[in-house]
Amino acid sequence: MKKVFAVLSAFALLAATLTSCSVSGLHAGSVINIGETNEFNSINADNRTNDAALAVNREVAALVNPSFYYTDAAGKLIDNKEFGVVSVVGKNPLKVEYSLTGKAKWSDGVAVSADDLLLSWLAARNPADAGFESVRSGSGLKWTTSIPITSADKKSITVTFDRSVADWQTVMTLNAPAHLVAEKAFGLTDATSALARFEEAVSSASVADQTLISEQYSHLFLVRAPTAPSVNNATATPTPTPTAEPIEIGGGLKVNAGAYLVESVNPGVSITLKANPNFAWGPPVTIETVNIKFYSDSTSILSAMQAGDVDICAPSESGIATNSDLISLAKAAGAKYEFAASHDIEAFLLNFGSDSAFSTAKSDVVKSAALRDAFLKLIPRTKILAALSKDNPVLEARSWIYSNSSNYYTPFVQSNGSADFQFQNAEAAGELLKTANVRTPEDIRVLFDSNNPRAKSEFALLGQYATAVGFNLIDVSTKDPRTVSATGQFDVLITTVALAGEVGGDPYWFTGGSVGQFADPALDALLVSYSAKSDALDQIGVLKQVDTELYLAKFGLPLYQVPALLVYGKRIKTIVDAPYGGSATYGYWNWTLNG
């Protein structure tokens, strides 16, 4: 499975799984209720609002936006030829054409066109620094300096990349109707004039006009909360208890082009989607109505499931419940569940920034290298895996690139250097510090999510021999580690990252502005080589060297593939689990109900 949390690479793949399961068409009057944590706040999931809302915004977007690709149950990309085709039309430089079939229409009747894809590019690239806050700002589109070319019939857009990129197939996502954004940005009332003005704003690189566009790209699709918002469980009840009628929100929220259309939103409580009656550019819908309900935490969702108010959820661990607790609650609700490894991994990342203990700015090259090596040898991987597998087994991760189920995993780990860190070696760690004349104890600030029970356990196990080795561990955990990591005020980050070689992964994230400010000329050279390869096997060969170099440079240490849960109640007859994990809206056309 592959989990949706990785902030910027998973967004392009949030769609349902394509399987051989046949469907009998839409069942009139059918309803499915989905439980989600955190509050949905924008139909435009590409726009970074706040971290808490990103995942649930993507969950909704997966149902209301079509895409060029879906993923099958194994995580393989499947062409959605009813919507369009992605083709490489040039290799040096890389040129990719994104072609539309012309079938797709927005719910207001306007055809989905190349202008919508041009808006997608503009938001991700933000060439005029006009204020776009796209989750794809770090995607392959950052390597595009020339404006894409749109065809005369507005059915295709050709993008030239300055270098080869891993995500060229999935990076172009449909997020917002360009005609509506332009109408609101420029005070126009017809789509043709608005799109002409939009195209001019892009081609002329007008900062003023692009700023107007970015404002609407952000604000037009936000959910405007009522004066007295109501949140599920605010009064410790497991079902929605709105205190106000559903509000009428901006026009942007109800202009959709996917399998489902937004019917109504009750901010903080629920969103209701109805099957798109004209949808013919993707897998057909089977369920007529989808109610997505928002809860404060996973335990509340499972309580609602026990009460019959929720049919599907993807609960996650928190400070109040572990996976074992959640599974117990699922069983108590009489629900079925899937527990499997995602394609995200838990990892220790070292900070190479100037304020870190591991930086050469704090000590000479020999000492800083010894510190990094010693710390990684201190990590009790085996104990961590044993502790987490006590109730439900987790899969070990010894590669930064591929999952345990990949055919490439074993050849990679046999030669990448991970064997040197498979077991904790406190004695060797202490000897390294002694040989390098490192003055001990060395303060090490460890940053992690204070609401994450796995990270708490990992920190506790890490501390068992830390003092004896010569490290003084300082707990700098917080509920918002992303904000702290941006300041550089940490030495080690315990976090979740996406496997770089899996679908939606990014081999370039390790260097050039990563959270740990890692810079390595040898790795940069390998990535240049990777970008020059067009053959898939040649690219895999380079990725194998990348995996080895990350261990050699002591980038950090992968621990295990993060487990993910999918829980579904008695009303659900068939459902397919997401290959990336952590999604309750995945596979809509596979949904069927009992009775």
| Tens digit of each residue's pLDDT (9 = 90 or more) over 28-81 | 999 999 999 987 889 999 998 877 788 899 999 999 999 999 887 777 889 999
pLDDT of residue 321: 86
What's the whole-number mean pLDDT along residues 152-178? 93
Q: Label residue 21 by pLDDT band (50, 70, 90).
A: very low
Q: Label residue 302 by pLDDT band (50, 70, 90).
A: very high
pLDDT of residue 462: 97
pLDDT of residue 536: 83
Assess contact for 20 and 283: CB atoms under 8 A. no
Q: Label residue 5 by pLDDT band (50, 70, 90).
A: very low
Listed range (49-63, 273-287, 376-390, 421-435) with the worst mean pLDDT? 49-63
Query: Which DSSP category does 245 fall into?
Result: P
pLDDT of residue 250: 54
Residue 17 has pLDDT above 50, yes or no: no
Residue 356 has pLDDT above 60, yes or no: yes
Whether the bond into 93 is cis, omega within 30 of 0: yes
Better pLDDT: 13 or 254: 254
Residue 268 has pLDDT above 90, yes or no: no
Q: Where are the domains of the chain?
A: 23-44+56-64+225-341+564-593, 77-219, 344-562
Q: Label residue 512 by pLDDT band (50, 70, 90).
A: low
What's the whole-number mean pLDDT along residues 444-457? 93
What's the whole-number mean pLDDT along residues 464-470? 96
Give burial (CB, 10 Å; 0-12/13-18/19+) of 306. Answer: middle
Residues 6+ apart with CB under 8 A from 262: 43, 64, 253, 254, 256, 271, 272, 273
Calpha distance 220→148 (Å, rounded): 25
pLDDT of residue 205: 95
pLDDT of residue 225: 45
Calpha distance 36→584 (Å, rounded): 8
What's the whole-number mean pLDDT along residues 283-296? 95
Assess contact for 134 and 48: CB atoms under 8 A. yes
558 phi/psi in degrees, rounded to 5: -75, 145
Assess contact for 578 and 2: CB atoms under 8 A. yes
Q: Label residue 166 by pLDDT band (50, 70, 90).
A: confident
Q: Which of 48, 89, 83, 58 is nearest to 68 (CA)?
A: 83
User: H-type helices in 466-535, by residue range?
Assistant: 466-469, 481-487, 521-532
User: H-type helices in 35-93, by residue range?
Assistant: 51-64
Arithmetic mean of pLDDT over the chain: 88
Collapsed DSSP state (helix, strand, coil) of residue 385: helix
* Of the options 1.10.3720.10, 3.40.190.10, 3.40.50.620, 3.30.2000.20, the CATH number for the domain spanning 23-44+56-64+225-341+564-593: 3.40.190.10
* CA quadruple 487, 488, 493, 496: dihedral, nearest 10: 50
Calpha distance 359→445 (Å, rounded): 13
Collapsed DSSP state (helix, strand, coil) of residue 347: strand
What's the whole-number mean pLDDT along residues 421-449? 95
| Tens digit of each residue's pLDDT (9 = 90 or more) over 309-324 | 999 999 988 878 888 8
pLDDT of residue 57: 93
What's the whole-number mean pLDDT along residues 120-131? 97
pLDDT of residue 196: 97
Distance, CA of 300 to chain centre: 24
What's the whole-number mean pLDDT along residues 495-518? 84
What's the whole-number mean pLDDT along residues 167-185? 94
Better pLDDT: 239 or 489: 489
Residue 24 has pLDDT above 80, yes or no: no
What's the whole-number mean pLDDT along residues 128-156? 94
Amino acid at the residue 365: V
551 phi/psi in degrees, rounded to 5: -70, -40
pLDDT of residue 513: 63
Residue 238 has pLDDT above 70, yes or no: no
Q: Which of 80, 258, 248, 242 is nearest to 169 (CA)?
A: 80
* CA quadruple 414, 416, 422, 427: dihedral, nearest 10: 130
pLDDT of residue 183: 95
CATH class of the domain whose range is 77-219: alpha beta
| Tens digit of each residue's pLDDT (9 = 90 or more) over 472-487 | 999 999 988 988 998 9
What's the whole-number mean pLDDT along residues 336-341? 91
Residue 11 has pLDDT above 80, yes or no: no
pLDDT of residue 363: 74
Same fold, 23-44+56-64+225-341+564-593 and 77-219: no
Residue 459 has pLDDT above 60, yes or no: yes
pLDDT of residue 449: 93
- 593: which 2 tokens? 């109900």
Assess contact for 438 and 408: CB atoms under 8 A. no
Collapsed DSSP state (helix, strand, coil) of residue 519: coil
Calpha distance 414→109 (Å, rounded): 56
Angle, vertex CA 523, rays to CA 520 and CA 529, nearest 5 = 145
pLDDT of residue 245: 41
Residues 6+ apart with CB under 8 A from 26: 275, 284, 285, 286, 287, 288
pLDDT of residue 482: 85
Residue 9 has pLDDT above 70, yes or no: no
E strands, 146-243, are 149-150, 156-161
Amino acid at the residue 214: S
pLDDT of residue 509: 86
The neighbouring-strand residues paired with 319 are none
Calpha distance 83→111 (Å, rounded): 12
Query: Which DSSP category does 396 fall into?
Result: B
CATH topology of domain 344-562: Dipeptide-binding Protein; domain 3 (3.10.105)
Collapsed DSSP state (helix, strand, coil) of residue 528: helix
**Residues in the chain, overall count:** 595
